[in-house]
Every structure is written in structure tokens, then in C-alpha cells.
Amino acid sequence: MAVHGRFLKAAAAASIIAVVAAGCSSGGGEDGEQADAGTSGVGPITFAMGKNDTDKLRPVIEQWNAEHPDQVVTLHELAGEADAQRDTLVQSLQTQSGEYDAFALDVTDTAYFAANGWLQPIQGDTEVDTSGLIEAAVDSATYNGTLYAVPQNTNAQLLYYRTDLQPEAPANWGALVDSCKVAAEAAIDCLNLQLKQYEGLTVAATQFIHSWGGQVVGSDGKTPELDTPEAKAGMTALVDGYKSDIISMKSDGFTEEETAQAFLGGRSLYAYNWPYMYESGQTDPTSQVQGKFNVAPILGPDGAGRSTLGGYNNAINVFSENKATVKAFLEFIISEDVQMGFAQESFPPVLASIYDDEALQQEFPYMTALKAALENAQPRPVTPFYPAVSKAIQDNTFAALKDQKTVEQALTDMSAAIQQAQ
């Protein structure tokens, strides 16, 4: 998955929910009791990853193989679609196969694979030092208090703003709302983001809920926590913003690409989108805002908000026979040289220190804002039932936006759907 919309999965189809249900009943456990292949095995391994981003890993694997000829890593490309990647891995793991010794999981999939007992816990002989990594990325790889994967790369949405119309980023959500008069005077939209009924709507809704201090589910990944003043305040800000056209009502048909087209076409004052849009805005000859925009963290009621996290987590197959090699390879991926290489490919790294590199900041001016966003980011719900949870968020948020439900009813129904999904 790329650094923009491809980090996002579409809403769960019935077939995927069926796969989840089948997987959760397939045996195994949450403590890695199936890890009977041992943890000391050394030798060749296969690393599976969606084909959209394997170009970032190929040079890394080539370097590793040159340095470790007896522990060669073979790259296996999975499908480009996230759901198809998931299906392939699930089908293999349900047969207790070690054909893929390690694999890159979307951050939203890690808990599901862990809950099925398919992932080697990152502890004991397979412990990896993650102290230098972005904390939110590590949280996305943690389920029921145990780390089950090593973050590889990450992502967070940013606030894009037109510096020719708004020289400084708004200090908070209220300031953004007040500044929309500038957009009205310029006859453009105020804020565009992704409110089409797909995974992007889950990102938008969770960002507002989290930015106002709320939660979707508890730390167990199962218990809804939407019956709180904070969750209600966040959802209300989103719904009221849309109904008042502060958030352009066109956004209910927008994915990341439509958001980019509107902002880069000079048709909005603000946008929430992933970092990929920065480079497009400054280098694409069709951009109408080249040299006229900047980025900052998204907003909450009192300052910076809490962006939703994207990215990949690298996991060790509990059935792999060469786990010691896998552990060493995953450590190699989070080394400074590799992570710097990711940054230079606009593939946001998880090693926090990379963002402080002055030369990198000059080459990629959004890095400072992205680091600030990542330091305050929060994963989407870490739950083994993520597809159904995402669908509950999308369905009920969209109903509230379209005035088919009150905010209160939407949150109540969202909670009920999350409970029913388990």
C-alpha cells in the first residue's frame, strides 16, 4: 500500500467478514501457543507483501541478501488490494503453513492475526527493541498488551492550508471555523476531506472522535466506548461541520484523490489528506497552488488533533522454521539507513529520529509537521473484528451526516453493531 489512499481498505464485504469469522474459529490462541517450530532457526526466509509498495523493499532485501548469503530473503508479492492480501495470508495460515515466514500487515489487520494465534509474539527470543520508534505505530502492533509485530513504515493525515489566503495554520478547530469567511470571500470551499462511504470515512470519523478525547473501543479491542461526552463532541463537530458547509458538503463523495483534485486545483482553503499530496502540489505542473500552501497537524478543540495512523506492521509467522533470521531481518528494516531510505522515497519511516534530520527536512518540508502529527496520532481501533467495526463506523457516521440519524442515535447504533460483530 502506498503512502496515501492505498493505506486504506475498503469497507468490509460480506466475504471478508466470513473469512474473519472462519479465522477466529480456526484454533490457536492469543499467546502464541502454536509456536512449536522454535525461535532459534536460521536460514532462508520468504517475506510477503502487497505489490503496491514492494519497490520500497526490493533494495532493502537486495542489501540484506548481499550481506547474509546464508539467510537469503525471497520477496513474495501479494495482490495489490488489501482484502485480497488478507485472504491469501489467512488461507495459508489456516493450514498452519510456514510458506511465508514473515509478512507485512496493514495496521488494521494486526490484531485479527494475533487473536488467531498466527503471529509470534515479539518477546523473549524474538524481542526487538522498539524504543526508538513512533509510539503510535508500536501501539498499532500491540494487542492485549503484547507486541505482535514490528512497525515498518507509518503515515498520518495532515492539514493543508493555502498560505496565500491564510498565512498561518489555524490554532484549533474553532479558529478554522472562524477563518472560513476567507474561503467565502474567495468563492472557494473551506475544508475538504474524505466522507464518501468507504474506509476513508472511518479515518475521518475516528480522527474527530479521537481529537475530541473520545475512543471507539477500549483497550481490549472489543468493548465500545462511544457513550461518552468526548465521543459525542467529536462526532458532533464532524456532523455540524458538514451540515454547515464548513466541511464542504461535496466531501460526501470524496476519496483522497477527489480531495487532492479540489485542493490542488485551488478550489478549497483547507484539506485533510495524506503526505503524498504535498509533493504533487509542489511539482505537478497542473497544480494551481504550487508555492502557495503549507501543512500542519490536523485540528482538535484545543490545538492539534489526533490523526489516524496508516502503515505496515511486519509480523513473524508462528509456523516459520527460521524465526531467528526473521527477527534479524525485521531489525534490519528499522535500522537508521533503511528508514532514511524510506523517508527519501516518501515512505514515512517509523524511526522517530529520522524526522529530525535537517537535510531531510529541507528536501521534504512536510517532515516537521508529519512528525508532530505522528507523535499525537492514534491507531484506528485495534480489534480482531476490524472489518465489521469499520463498517459500523462508516454506516452510522454517514447516516448522521445525511440527517438520517441524530449523533446520539448514530453512536448508540455504532456501539450495538460493534458488539454484534464479536
Specify the pairing of strand 102-106 against strand 45-50.
parallel
How far CA 57 is from CA of 40, 64, 88, 338, in Å, comes to 25, 10, 20, 9
Looking at residue 222, its pLDDT comes to 85
Domains defined for the chain, CATH in brackets: 5-155+310-368 (3.40.190.10), 156-308+381-420 (3.40.190.10)
Sequential pLDDT tens for the chain (422 residues): 333 333 333 333 333 333 333 344 333 444 444 445 689 899 999 999 999 999 999 999 999 999 999 999 999 999 988 889 999 999 999 999 999 999 999 999 999 999 999 999 999 999 999 999 999 999 999 999 999 999 999 999 999 999 999 999 999 999 999 999 999 999 999 999 999 999 999 999 999 999 999 999 988 888 999 999 999 999 999 999 999 999 999 999 999 999 999 999 999 999 999 999 999 999 999 999 999 999 999 999 999 999 999 999 999 999 999 999 999 999 999 999 999 999 999 999 999 999 999 999 999 999 999 999 999 999 999 999 999 999 999 999 999 999 999 999 999 999 999 999 88
Please report the beta strands in 36-149, taking only residues with DSSP state E, as ranges in sequence order. 45-50, 73-78, 102-106, 142-143, 146-147
**Residue 37: predicted pLDDT:** 62
Task: Please tell me the distance from the alpha carbon of residue 111 to that of residue 69, in angstroms, as a whole number.
Answer: 33
Q: Is the dihedral of CA 128, 373, 50, 385 positive or negative?
A: positive
pTM of the entire structure? 0.87
- The arrangement of strands across the sheet holding 268-273 comes to 189-192, 268-273, 158-162, 293-297
